[in-house]
Amino acid sequence: MLGFLAKRLASGVVLVFAVSAAAFMLISIAGGDIARTIVGDAATQQQVDQKAAELGLDQPLLEQYWSWLGAALRGDFGTSWFTNLPVTELLLTKMPITLSLALVGTVVSAALGVALGTIAAVRRGIVDRLLQVLVIAGFALPGFWLALVLVSAFAVQWGLLPATGYVPFGFSPAEWARSITLPVAALAIGVTGATAQQVRSGLIDVLRQDYIRSLRGRGLSNANIVLRHGLRNAAPSALTVISLQFINLLGGAVIIERIFALPGLGAMTLDATTQGDVPQIMGVVVLTVGIVVTVNLVIDVAYGWLNPKVRIR
Amino acid sequence: MTAGLDPVAVPPDATAAAVGPRRRGGVGRLLRNPLAVGALLVLAVVVLTALFAPLLAPGSPTHADLRAVLAPPGPEHLLGTDGLGRDVLSRLLYGARTSLVAGVTAVVVAVLVGVPAGLFAGYHLGWFDTVGNWIVNAIIALPGIVVLLVVISAVGANMVFVMAVFGVLISPGFFRITRAATIRARAELYVDAARVSGLSDARIMLRHVLPVVRAPIIIQASMMVGVGISVQSGLAFLGLGSAREASWGAMINDAFANIYGAPGLIFPPGLAIGLTVASFAVLGSALRDALEDDTGGSTSAAPADAHEPSVEATPQGSETVLEIRDLSVRYPGAGGSRTVVSGVTLGVSRGEVLGLVGESGSGKTQTAFAMLGLLPPEAEVSWSSLAFGGEDVRAGDGSALAALRGRRMAYIPQEPMSNLDPSFRIGTQMAEPMRRHLDVSRAEARRRATTLLERVGIRDPERVLAAYPHQISGGMAQRVLIAIAISCNPDVLVADEPTTALDVTVQAEVLDLLRDLQRERQMAVILVTHDFGVVADVCDRVAVMRHGVLVEAGTVTELFGRPQHPYTRMLLASTLEGKEPRQRLLEPLGGAR
Task: Give the closest of A19, A211, A250 to B420, CB-based.
Answer: A211
Q: Which residues on chain A are in Cβ contact (under 8 Å) with B140?
A: 244, 247
Q: Which residues on chain B are in Cβ contact (under 8 Å) with A238?
A: none
Convert the pLDDT of each residue in B236-248 to its tens digit: 998 887 777 888 9
Local confidence band at B293 (pLDDT 50, 70, 90 cut-offs): low
User: What pLDDT score does A61 carry?
Assistant: 82
Percent of chain B with pLDDT over 70: 87
Q: How many CB pairs under 8 A join A and B?
A: 196
Identify whether A84 is part of a domain.
no
**More confident call, B311 vs A193:** A193
Mutate to test the interface with A, among B150, B251, B273, B436 (most CBs of A within 10 A): B150
Identify whether A198 is part of a domain.
yes
Contact with chain A for residue B151, Cβ under 8 A: yes
User: What pLDDT score does B480 carry?
Assistant: 94
Residues A109 and A257 grouped into a single domain = yes
Query: Measured between alpha carbons, how far is B15 from B156 in angstroms, rounded to an integer?
Result: 46
Local confidence band at B25 (pLDDT 50, 70, 90 cut-offs): low
Please tell me what DSSP assigns to residue A41. Answer: T
Contact residues, B window 215-234, toward A, CB-based 8 Å cutoff: 226, 230, 233-234
Q: State whether residue B68 is helix, strand or coil.
A: helix
Minimum distance, in Å, between the CA of residue A143 and any CA atom of chain B: 9
* Mean pLDDT over the full length of chain B: 82
Where is the domain boundary, A73, A105, A125? A73
H/E segment holding residue A272:
helix A265-275
Residues A263 and A204 grouped into a single domain = yes
Residues A123 and A12 grouped into a single domain = no
Residues A172 and A56 grouped into a single domain = no
Length of chain A: 313
Residues A32 and A138 grouped into a single domain = no
Our measurement of the distance from residue B193's CA atom to the centroid of its chain's CA atoms, rounded to an integer in Å, reads 30
Q: Which residues on chain B are in Cβ contact (under 8 Å) with A140?
A: 226, 230, 273-278, 281
For the entire predicted model, the pTM comes to 0.81
Where is the domain boundary, A15, A39, A73? A73
Q: In chain A, which stretches have pLDDT less than 70?
A: 1, 30-32, 310-313
Q: Which residues on chain B are in Cβ contact (under 8 Å) with A274?
A: 153, 240
Task: Give the closest of A137, A156, A213 to B374, CB-based.
Answer: A213
Residues A124 and A163 grouped into a single domain = yes
Convert the pLDDT of each residue in B385-439 to its tens digit: 888 887 777 655 567 778 888 889 999 998 888 999 999 999 999 999 999 999 9
User: What pLDDT score does A226 carry?
Assistant: 93
Task: Give the closest of A137, A213, A273 to B152, CB-based.
Answer: A273
Yes or no, beta carbons of A142 and B134 under 8 Å apart: no
Residues A127 and A38 grouped into a single domain = no
Tally of domains in chain A: 2
Is 80 exceeded by the pLDDT of residue B553? yes
User: What pLDDT score does B505 carry?
Assistant: 83
User: What pLDDT score does B81 carry?
Assistant: 81
User: Which of A212-216, B1-5, B151-155, B377-381 tops mean pLDDT?
Assistant: A212-216
Yes or no, beta carbons of A216 and B141 under 8 Å apart: no
Query: Measured between alpha carbons, how far is B130 from B98 in angstroms, rounded to an integer?
Result: 37
Please tell me what DSSP assigns to residue B260. Answer: T
Residue range B546-552: average pLDDT? 89
Dihedral over Cα of B518, B519, B520, B523: its sign: positive
Contact with chain A for residue B372, Cβ under 8 A: yes
User: Which of A71-80, B98-107, B255-264, B558-567 tops mean pLDDT?
Assistant: B98-107
Could you give the angle at which helices B210-237 and B267-292 cross, rounded to 10 degrees? 170
Residue range B4-23: average pLDDT? 35
Yes or no, beta carbons of B260 and A214 under 8 Å apart: no
Identify whether A235 is part of a domain.
yes
Yes or no, beta carbons of B418 and A211 under 8 Å apart: yes
> Which residues, including other chains, have CB under 8 Å from residue B94's CB and lie 6 or more apart?
B53, B57, B61, B245, B246
Length of chain B: 593
Residue range B522-539: average pLDDT? 89
Cα separations (Å) of A67 from A35, A63, A127, A279?
A: 18, 6, 57, 12
* Closest chain A residue to B399, measured at CA: A219
Q: Which residues on chain A are in Cβ contact (under 8 Å) with B423?
A: 229, 232-233, 306-308
Q: Which residues on chain B are in Cβ contact (under 8 Å) with A11?
A: 134, 137
Minimum distance, in Å, between the CA of residue A291 and any CA atom of chain B: 10
Contact residues, B window 480-499, toward A, CB-based 8 Å cutoff: 481, 484-485, 488
Contact with chain A for residue B149, Cβ under 8 A: yes
Residues A271 and A169 grouped into a single domain = yes
Q: Which residues on chain A are in Cβ contact (under 8 Å) with B426?
A: none
Yes or no, beta carbons of A229 and B423 under 8 Å apart: yes
State in Å, rounded, how far the first CA of chain A is from the last one.
6
Our measurement of the distance from residue A10's CA atom to the centroid of its chain's CA atoms, rounded to an integer in Å, reads 21
Mutate to test the interface with B, among A11, A189, A211, A284 (most CBs of B within 10 A): A211
Percent of chain A with pLDDT over 90: 27
Identity of the residue numbered A247: I
Query: Measured between alpha carbons, how far is B492 from B486 in angstroms, rounded to an integer?
Result: 9
Local confidence band at B42 (pLDDT 50, 70, 90 cut-offs): very high
Identify whether A82 is part of a domain.
no
Query: Measured between alpha carbons, how far is A4 from A313 in angstroms, rounded to an integer?
Result: 10
Q: Which residues on chain B are in Cβ contact (under 8 Å) with A292?
A: 141-143
Task: Give the closest of A217, A269, A292 to B372, CB-based.
Answer: A217
Identify whether A78 is part of a domain.
no
Identify whether A106 is part of a domain.
yes
Residues A64 and A96 grouped into a single domain = no
Contact with chain A for residue B248, Cβ under 8 A: no
Decide if B364 contacts B356 (C-beta within 8 A). Answer: yes
Task: Give the closest of A211, A273, A289 to B149, CB-based.
Answer: A273
Yes or no, beta carbons of B420 and A288 under 8 Å apart: no
Q: Which residues on chain A are in Cβ contact (under 8 Å) with B283?
A: none
Decide if B276 contacts B99 (C-beta within 8 A). Answer: yes
Task: Give the closest of A27, A144, A309 to B150, CB-based.
Answer: A27
Q: What is the CATH number of the domain that holds A222?
A: 1.10.3720.10
Convert the pLDDT of each residue in B82-122 to its tens digit: 877 788 888 899 999 999 999 999 999 999 999 999 988 98
Yes or no, beta carbons of B141 and A247 under 8 Å apart: yes
Residues A17 and A127 grouped into a single domain = no
Instruction: Catalogue the long-range contacts made by B78-82 (C-beta closer than 8 Å, 24 or more residues apart).
Output: B79/B268, B80/B262, B80/B264, B80/B265, B82/B251, B82/B254, B82/B255, B82/B258, B82/B262, B82/B265
* Closest chain B residue to A211, measured at CA: B419
Convert the pLDDT of each residue in B459-501 to its tens digit: 999 999 999 999 999 889 999 999 999 999 999 999 998 888 8
Query: Measured between alpha carbons, how far is B523 from B491 in angstroms, rounded to an integer?
Result: 5
Yes or no, beta carbons of B406 and A220 under 8 Å apart: yes
Convert the pLDDT of each residue in B133-179 to its tens digit: 888 888 887 778 888 888 887 777 788 999 999 999 999 999 998 99
Minimum distance, in Å, between the CA of residue B135 and any CA atom of chain A: 9
Query: Measured between alpha carbons, how far is B491 from B499 in angstroms, rounded to an integer?
Result: 21
Query: Measured between alpha carbons, how far is A17 from A291 in angstroms, rounded to an integer?
Result: 14
Local confidence band at B587 (pLDDT 50, 70, 90 cut-offs): very low
Q: B82: phi > 0 → left, psi -120 to 50 → alpha, else beta; which? A: beta
Neighbours of B308 (CB within 10 A): 17
Dihedral over Cα of A47, A48, A51, A52: its sign: negative
**What is the domain range of residue A26?**
2-73
> Is B534 buried (19+), middle (13-18) or exposed (0-12) by CB count in 10 A?
buried
Is 90 exceeded by the pLDDT of residue B193? no
Q: State whether residue B192 is helix, strand or coil.
A: helix
Where is the domain boundary, A73, A108, A123? A73
Residues A129 and A63 grouped into a single domain = no
Residues A246 and A307 grouped into a single domain = yes
Minimum distance, in Å, between the CA of residue A168 and any CA atom of chain B: 24
Percent of chain B with pLDDT over 90: 31
Identify whether A83 is part of a domain.
no
